[in-house]
Amino acid sequence: MSAIDHKAEAENLLNESFGPSQAAEAQAHATLALVEQTAALVAEQRTANLIANMNADQSAGYGIPKERLLEIQERLA
């Protein structure tokens, strides 16, 4: 998985959308910025889910097999 800074990309697209471009172009840039921001939120949620899965065996009796924890840790590395 490639590491894309979606938040920075969204900020760049929004900055471009408020430049001296035409209205349609500005709208396209704003739409792309929203897509990039959504992708950034999805990436953050994925990381949070992986962390939660790693810690699940420590809370409320939710256990994850050791093999699965090792797999998750390898994917995060």
**Residue extents of the structural domains in the chain:** 6-76
Predicted pLDDT at 23: 66
Q: Give the pLDDT confidence score for residue 61 in this predicted structure.
A: 40
Give alpha helix (H) positions in 1-77.
6-17, 23-55, 66-76
- Alpha-carbon span 5 to 53, nearest angstrom: 24
Question: What does pTM read for this prediction?
Answer: 0.49
- Where does residue 52 rank: exposed (0-12), middle (13-18), buried (19+ CB within 10 A)? exposed
Report the pLDDT value the prediction gives residue 32, as an integer from 0 to 100. 86
pLDDT tens figures, 46-72: 888 888 877 765 644 456 677 777 788
pLDDT of residue 42: 92
